[in-house]
Amino acid sequence: MTDLIIRTEGRAGRLTLNRPKALNALTHDQCLQTEAALIAWRDDPAVDLVIIDATGERAFCSGGDIAQVAAAGRNGDFAMGREFWRDEYRMNALLAEYPKSIVSFMQGFVMGGGVGYGCHVRHRIVGESTQMAMPECGIGLIPDVGGTWLLGQAPGHLGVYLALTAARMGAGDAIAVGFADHFIPEAEWEGVKQRLIESGDVTSLPAHSTPEAPLSAQIDQINRLFSGASLPEIITALEAEDTPLAAAALKAIRRNSPLSMASTLAMLRPAPASLAEALRQEFRWTWRSMDKGDFLEGVRAQIIDKDRNPQWQHPAPDAVSDSDVAAMLAPLGADDL
């Protein structure tokens, strides 16, 4: 069984993530295969558009397959992760810049690397089961794969809120925040794909009303609580507010890596000027994440030992200095993306 099903049908090139038991976690090989297929179809007159989807009901893509990267990092091999991220980010940029229409169908969990795979394309479809999030600060990373670009474009301070709390978005919020474009009931997806295959024409996408966006409805509260210039300021505002949203946000922030959150805040204020700038900045951080960041400890605590008790290098958010963040984001010279 192949992890990525690549084929052409009718007028469409098709890419189907096929690791349902692993919640379609994205591997390095899948990134390279995706890039090769897109380059092959770019000038192929028989291919009018590309359809991206995934097998299984639980997840479009739950994120990058980081277990192997972390295992190599624990043995002192940082090159594997750095090459994975370099190739993944190059694929993210290709998806965004592709000259032909790409349509992604994103069911279930769409997180981290899944956002990078499905949310930079021109036509982003979500359904009833979609649960979208950027939870990287909880494993000692930062929202990458162009995540800081998407979060930086979100209305008000929603991007900061989503990055620091890993709050999940359903279909309505994913559209309102700018991570998706169209809601289509999932029962219609196969028919919609078939019409795209036959016609090669994205104007055949049906129009449906967008579901409610409960998160976006709380934007005034989120803007008030997440307007602070620093992580300690945001925490102070949350501690002073007795609401369910503030309590849940505080709980999430207290779990996360202080260095990751402080760095993420710096990357979003100001927001990146382009996807290319976002990816370049993210790569500088992830390149250093294993030897200078909290990534290996975060993966140990959340995925390997599952003790949910990470020992972050900074004991609290106010222990992270501006110079700590600047060191993670400094140019890499010849290693820059």
253-275: per-residue pLDDT in tens? 999 999 999 999 999 999 999 99
pLDDT in tens, 44-91: 999 999 999 999 999 999 998 888 889 899 999 999 999 999 999 999
Q: Which residue shows structure tokens 């979500």? A: 126
**Looking at residue 68, what is its pLDDT?**
85
pLDDT in tens, 283-299: 999 999 999 999 999 99
**Looking at residue 65, what is its pLDDT?**
86
In the structure, what pLDDT confidence band is assigned to residue 1 with cuts at 50, 70 and 90? confident
* CA distances in angstroms from 266 to 103, 143, 167, 240, 328, listed in the order given: 32, 12, 19, 23, 11
Residue-range definition of the domain harbouring residue 243? 1-337
First to last CA, the chain: 33
Determine what percent of the chain is predicted with pLDDT higher than 90.
Answer: 94
Q: Exposed, middle or buried by CB within 10 Å (0-12, 13-18, 19+), for 220?
A: exposed
**What is the average per-residue pLDDT within 11-23?**
97
Q: Can you give the C-alpha Rg of the chain in angstroms?
A: 19
The separation between CA 83 and the C-alpha centre of its own chain, rounded to angstroms, equals 18
Cβ contact 141:289 at 8 Å: yes
**Looking at residue 150, what is its pLDDT?**
98
In the structure, what pLDDT confidence band is assigned to residue 316 with cuts at 50, 70 and 90? very high
Please determine, for residue 140, whether its predicted confidence score (pLDDT) is greater than 90. Answer: yes
Q: What is the number of structural domains in the chain? A: 1
Please determine, for residue 215, whether its predicted confidence score (pLDDT) is greater than 90. Answer: yes
In the structure, what pLDDT confidence band is assigned to residue 304 with cuts at 50, 70 and 90? confident
**Where residue 268 sits, what CATH number does that domain have?**
3.90.226.10
Cβ contact 75:37 at 8 Å: no
Determine what percent of the chain is predicted with pLDDT higher than 70.
Answer: 100
pTM reported for the whole predicted model: 0.95
